[in-house]
Structure 1
Amino acid sequence: MNCPLWKKLLLLAATALVTVSSACGVAESSNSVGVIGVWTEGEEAAFNQVKRRFEEKTGIKVRYQGTRAVEQVLAADVQQGAAPDIAVLSSPGLLADYARRHEIKPLDFLEKKAESFYGRQWVNLQRLGTGKLYSVAVKADLKSAIWYRPSSVPGPKPTTWQQLVALAAGPGTPWCLGLASPPTSGFPGTDWIEDILLHSAGPEIYRQWAGGTLPWTSDPVRQAFRDWGTLVVRPGGIQGGAPAALLTDFRDSARPLFTDPPGCRMEHQGSFAMGSYQNMHLRTPTGPHPQPGTDYDFFPFPGSGASEVSADLAAMFADTPQARQFLDFLVSPEAQQIWAGNPNASAFSAGAAVAKDVYPDPVKRKVADTLTAGKPVCFDASDLMPATMTGAFYRAILEYTADPTQLDTLLNRLDDTRKGIPREEWLNVPCGQ
């Protein structure tokens, strides 16, 4: 019997875990701080600029480990009693779980600085549904963005769902989509569902759903899946069809956008996609790199309501003077402008104090304006959910993409998962406030 593609992706995810030797080897200098995060390749190179500046200023050595399987590696380290001083995760739900177990420390010493730097909305997100500051957003991303090649999508851009449907019905394959991302395969599809729900049902319904009080079988959630199916997961909707989407790495999904003629016209992706676009080529595998504003741009997800955002959140597992100093540095215009000004990194700050002219191109400045203009924002729902729910959501996206006719079965299964999670594991985080 053939193994379904979504199951193959889950097997890939299971083998993607890596082990670490943080508990072994020689002891590190006491004048150092250990950090684990998700940044690899170009993002790690950009972060290295930040940490070098900190080391120059303080003499404190930053020992960084980057891995795509950061959640799994961190869990193993914590279980072995070898947690890093600081961990950077994109999941407030997971960090809240560590906070409930008293494994991360409240950042009381940063409270006033964070409120001044980020503003009320972002600080509320960083409190993880508690009354205390437990994390700080080192870098942020805009999720409510649809990317396109200006030459392929001329004219006014859609501002309503009906206009987006009409645009997608035009000539050519409308959508680029890649769902593979071991060990989190499926997440680009969850972003679609979240954006549709947020912009159709509004921030309050979105908050209830992300917080576990709105059933997956409710009409708004069911309609979000149906709308995604009608717009994207349909014959002719995706470059290469559903099998290609299931096996294509999300970082490679937009390559057909830049071929001649384009293999697809649009991609729904977070602002971190700019980092992948910069490494692609126009027309041929050896052609010039796409230029922001000329070869790619984005328009906001159509509809009313807040923008969906995400962030890499730094939390403190060991309360040391070195860890405090490093976190204090990260929450500063100096540190975050190093990220923002790097032309090879798609890094954005949630702090309004970061000068917009530090961003090297107009598309990045447009993203930064959206993140910091004080407009309503809501955090990525799958990142807010308990890990068990998030994993089930990822799997459901893969199964739905492979066979949309099983929607009712999938939603019932997701709601059974929701009901089985203790109430205290869900976060009640403000949305659009």
Structure 2
Amino acid sequence: MRHLLGALLLLTACLAGCAPATGAGTITVLASWTGAEGAAFEQVLAGFTAQTGVRVRYQGTRAVSQVLASDVQNGNPPDIAVVPNPGELVTYVRSHNLYPLDDVLGGAPADIYGPQWLQLQTAGQAHLYGIAVKVDLKSIVWFNPALHALTQPRTWDEFAAATSALPWCLGLSAPPVSGWPGTDWIEDVLLHQAGPDSYRQWAAGQLAWTSPVVRRAWQTWGALMARTVGDNPARVLLTNFADAATGMLNSPQSCGFDHDGSFMLARYPATGRALDFVAVPPAGPDVAPGTSEVSADLAGMFTDNPSSRALIRYLASPAGQEVWPRVSGGSAFSATRSVDLRVYEGNPTARKVAETLRSGGTLCFDASDLMPATMTNAFYRAALEFLADPGRLDTLLTQLDQIRLGVPPQEWLSVPCGR
């Protein structure tokens, strides 16, 4: 009841006080969403304009990192930018381009997000600089229940056995940053084998790539993918990750299982609403059921003015967070605890994602999203090279560790999992 009252007070405060005290004006927002996702986000922003009178000039670009870096360097940043990961956000914190949001939200941030999501969004910094506009659940495997039965496996052995009946839907092409579908797999395996603490150390550059637990994760992924890759690795290396998944929807199926995050609900064909998923299960004694990787798109404030503050408050409020899932049929998810899950009515799979994100399990940020850019890019390349030639694993891990040792210590982030 106390949390509900806090959420209602926050929403009331936003409805009454989001509008700037003087002329509304126009603010600029930069984010990565284009196409249908961009249109959905523009409807979120339209809700803010209707509520406050502040007009929003939105720029959506898949090259958001490059555009933002150029704008900041030229002294003309957007008022608000939504970046795709906490690692990128923190680079602007360290260059003193972002304003803290601790006193912007109009209430206690922990009441809005809960301690776990607040900790993840703070990303190891002394203050809160980014709020999650949209979050995604990873550590899940999609399947088509109309064509293939799959119950939730309790152990890794059950998981490997249950998914051995059909090839995996696997594509590592994802321009302009191909390779991340492979790194997502390796991160997931390491998290579920070695546990959250080893995972955090690895993501923070404190655990060698040549260590046994990291090597084992790569080997486990390679063994799981061996049948799918076969003697034609070029096929999976050149197949787009979204196109690969369509094999689940065909009868007969060309592949049965897709390891991708909840963002795929916006990318699967319309028949994808019939899909279901299971969670990646524990594979080691230090891993509790419900342990999952997550990712988030984080809004940061590059100019401090009443309109920017009002938009940050709106984006964190249930009013702002419920627009996207409503207009998209349930393909967007929130870290805000008081979002009404009835926005997923008619899409039971989306509601299951939303409920899992709230279930109280241990959540860990995607490791490559926390790593310095140099390390992340090398990780992407190594995943591609490993599938092309698994026999080079030791060489690849040695090269990755050399890069790790060359990154200045202050560039790493240490973000704990869990509460």
* TM-score, L = length of structure 2: 0.89
1:373 deviates by 2.5
Look up the SS of the partner of 1:108 in the other structure.
Answer: coil
Equivalent residue number for residue 421 of structure 1: 407
Letter of the structure 2 residue corresponding to residue 85 of structure 1: D
Is 1:272 aligned with 2:263? yes
Look up the SS of the partner of 2:254 in the other structure.
Answer: coil
Q: Deviations over 1:164-207 (max 9, x none)?
A: 2112322x32x011212222211111110111111111000000
Q: Against the structure 1 CA distance between its residues 113 and 45, is the aligned structure 2 distance closer, same or farther, given a 3 Å change threshold?
A: farther
Look up the SS of the partner of 2:244 in the other structure.
Answer: coil
Is 1:122 aligned with 2:122? no
Equivalent residue number for residue 301 of structure 1: 280
Task: Please tell me whether the aligned partners of residues 239 and 264 of structure 1 are also in contact (alpha carbons under 8 angstroms).
Answer: no
Distance of 1:270 and 1:225 partners within structure 2: 20
1:38 deviates by 1.2
Which structure 2 residue ranges, 5 or more long, are not aligned?
1-22
Is 1:40 aligned with 2:19? no
Is 1:198 aligned with 2:191? yes
User: Quick check: 198-207 or 341-350, which moved more?
Assistant: 341-350
Task: Please tell me whether the aligned partners of residues 341 and 358 of structure 1 are also in contact (alpha carbons under 8 angstroms).
Answer: yes
1:409 to 392, 395, 400: 395
Distance of 1:114 and 1:39 partners within structure 2: 26
Which structure 1 residue ranges, 5 or more long, are not aligned?
1-28, 281-288
Distance of 1:242 and 1:318 partners within structure 2: 47
Equivalent residue number for residue 172 of structure 2: 179
1:405 deviates by 1.1
Equivalent residue number for residue 251 of structure 1: 242
1:164 to 156, 159, 165: 159
Distance of 2:271 and 2:109 partners within structure 1: 36
Distance of 1:178 and 1:186 partners within structure 2: 9
Task: Please tell me whether the aligned partners of residues 330 and 344 of structure 2 are also in contact (alpha carbons under 8 angstroms).
Answer: no
Distance of 2:83 and 2:325 partners within structure 1: 19
2:357 to 371, 380, 388: 371
Is 1:222 aligned with 2:238? no
Is 1:188 aligned with 2:188? no
2:76 to 76, 82, 93: 82
Task: Please tell me whether the aligned partners of residues 351 and 372 of structure 1 are also in contact (alpha carbons under 8 angstroms).
Answer: no
Look up the SS of the partner of 1:274 in the other structure.
Answer: helix
Q: Deviations over 1:237-290 (max 9, x none)?
A: 15995222212222222111111101100000000011111xx2xxxxxxxx31
Equivalent residue number for residue 208 of structure 1: 201
Q: Deviations over 1:81-100 (max 9, x none)?
A: 22111111122111111111
User: Quick check: 65-74 or 417-426, which moved more?
Assistant: 65-74
Look up the SS of the partner of 1:328 in the other structure.
Answer: helix
1:113 deviates by 4.1
1:344 deviates by 4.4
Letter of the structure 2 residue corresponding to residue 217 of structure 1: T
1:63 deviates by 1.1
User: Quick check: 195-204 or 112-121, which moved more?
Assistant: 112-121
User: Quick check: 70-79 or 388-397, which moved more?
Assistant: 70-79
2:233 to 229, 232, 242: 242
Equivalences for residues 96-111 of structure 1 within 5 A: 96-110=90-104
Distance of 2:242 and 2:387 partners within structure 1: 18
Distance of 1:250 and 1:364 partners within structure 2: 20
Counting matched residue pairs gives 389
Task: Please tell me whether the aligned partners of residues 46 and 344 of structure 1 are also in contact (alpha carbons under 8 angstroms).
Answer: no
Task: Please tell me whether the aligned partners of residues 78 and 302 of structure 2 are also in contact (alpha carbons under 8 angstroms).
Answer: yes
Look up the SS of the partner of 2:57 in the other structure.
Answer: strand
Q: Deviations over 1:355-385 (max 9, x none)?
A: 1111131111111011123321111100011
Look up the SS of the partner of 2:240 in the other structure.
Answer: coil
Letter of the structure 1 residue corresponding to residue 35 of structure 2: E
Q: Against the structure 1 CA distance between its residues 165 and 321, is the aligned structure 2 distance closer, same or farther, given a 3 Å change threshold?
A: same
Task: Please tell me whether the aligned partners of residues 352 and 373 of structure 1 are also in contact (alpha carbons under 8 angstroms).
Answer: no
Letter of the structure 2 residue corresponding to residue 263 of structure 1: S
Letter of the structure 2 residue corresponding to residue 156 of structure 1: T
Letter of the structure 1 residue corresponding to residue 81 of structure 2: A
1:49 to 25, 43, 53: 43
Task: Please tell me whether the aligned partners of residues 340 and 349 of structure 1 are also in contact (alpha carbons under 8 angstroms).
Answer: no
Structure 1 residue ranges, 4+ long, deviating more than 3 angstroms after superposition? 110-113, 238-241
Distance of 2:195 and 2:137 partners within structure 1: 17
Equivalent residue number for residue 373 of structure 2: 387
Task: Please tell me whether the aligned partners of residues 196 and 224 of structure 1 are also in contact (alpha carbons under 8 angstroms).
Answer: yes
Equivalent residue number for residue 335 of structure 1: 320
Letter of the structure 2 residue corresponding to residue 226 of structure 1: Q
